Structure 1
Amino acid sequence: MPSRPSLSVAVVMRRERIDNRWQPWRWTLADVVPHEDVFGTAPRLLLQTGAEERWLFPAFAVELFRDDVEGYHLNLSSPAPCWFVHWRPDEEPGADGHMLARPVDVSLSYHDAGRWLDAQENVDQVPVPAPVREWVQAFVQEHYQPEPKRRRRPDSFRPLTDRFGNPASVSTEKPRGGGGGHG
């Protein structure tokens, strides 16, 4: 069985100081970069100042699946194709007293991002560089088959309803009987 196309990437998360007395720090996605062996496999601090920290989370596999080709197509056809990174804060503070924001998944699919957002997870995005866009575009061109447009039924075939959505009928017959009695 042939392997799926994949890239190995690392995620850079940024912890920045904000002017808020209830939440003095916030986490955001800083970048997604190609993974390099020198990164190792454990998260590590790249930068630390009084205003921010940057953490590297290495070794994420981004695979392309044929059954999600529409999700890649939607991403590529957007005004700004991007990486989607699903992340979660640690449950417990570390030795320094603060919690890390740990990436869980990295994807190029709108469908993945939509599922994560529907589950009320944290999802951030950053632009995809041109070589990655071209790689995904080649996969989409090879595998994407747009669904055929379905013919819309003419309105004359639609059931009649009143303004409340209840079934209605129209009669072309003249009323019979009459009740007024001309005698």
Structure 2
Amino acid sequence: MDPRPSLQLAVVMRRERQPNRWENWRHALAEVVVDEPLFGSAPRLLHEEGGVARFLHPGFKVELFRDEGEGYHLNLTSGAPVFFVMWRIDDEDPSVATPQNVSLSYNEAGRWLDAQERVDNVPLPEDVRAWLAAYTEANYTPEAKQRRRPQSFRAPGERGAP
């Protein structure tokens, strides 16, 4: 049995030429698809029309780790589970945006945002959501919440500083 289940994915990025007078390029995450052998391994242009282009970036792997269980749980219970994609604009050529990593963990996406990375998300397909839910249910147990006694029920000497 594979200790770390994984999926091969491809990321589709959208690029728009001069969307307004202040920007030369605008990049956005378009979708994440389960990788097929037909995709190959090199990024390529899928379609370009009217200043809008879509690029396929294959070869991403999402692995599930037991210590990220809380992040998966938070993603699944958010109401709209998503793929999180961290991507960067090329410093030398701002017309190029490249995805760097894909995750299913809400906590990992938060760490990327804390590091001031660009992170976008797209909805999970139902089969991937079910796969993630099965793994999370089998490997994650939320910590029991401990009820704290209100300060007013404690003796004055036991109360913490305000």
TM-score of the two chains, using structure 1 as the length reference: 0.81
Q: Say which SS state the counterpart of residue 30 (structure 1) adopts.
A: strand
Alignment match, 2:122:
126
Alignment match, 2:143:
147
Query: Structure 1: how far apart are the matches of 2:29 and 2:144?
Result: 37
Seen in structure 2, the aligned counterparts of structure 1 residues 152 and 19 have a Cα distance that, compared at 3 Å, is same
Higher strand share: 2
- The CA RMSD measured in Å over matched residues stands at 1.7
Count of aligned positions: 158
Contact kept? 2:72, 2:106, Cα under 8 Å: yes
Query: Structure 2: how far apart are the matches of 1:160 and 1:124?
Result: 41
Q: Say which SS state the counterpart of residue 24 (structure 1) adopts.
A: strand
Which protein has greater RCO, CA pairs closer than 8 Å, 6+ apart? 2
Higher helix share: 2
Structure 1: gaps spanning 5 or more residues? 166-183
Query: Structure 1: how far apart are the matches of 2:74 and 2:160?
Result: 36
Query: Structure 2: how far apart are the matches of 1:81 and 1:92?
Result: 34
Alignment match, 1:33:
33
Moved beyond 4 Å, runs of 4+: none
Alignment match, 2:48:
48
Query: Structure 2: how far apart are the matches of 1:21 and 1:35?
Result: 36
Seen in structure 2, the aligned counterparts of structure 1 residues 44 and 160 have a Cα distance that, compared at 3 Å, is closer
Structure 2: gaps spanning 5 or more residues? none
Q: Percent identity?
A: 57
Contact kept? 1:91, 1:99, Cα under 8 Å: no
Alignment match, 1:59:
59
Contact kept? 2:19, 2:26, Cα under 8 Å: no
Q: Say which SS state the counterpart of residue 20 (structure 2) adopts.
A: coil
Cα deviations by residue, 1:20-55 (Å, 9 ceiling, x for unpaired): 222132000000001111211110000111230000
Alignment match, 1:21:
21
Q: Say which SS state the counterpart of residue 149 (structure 1) adopts.
A: coil
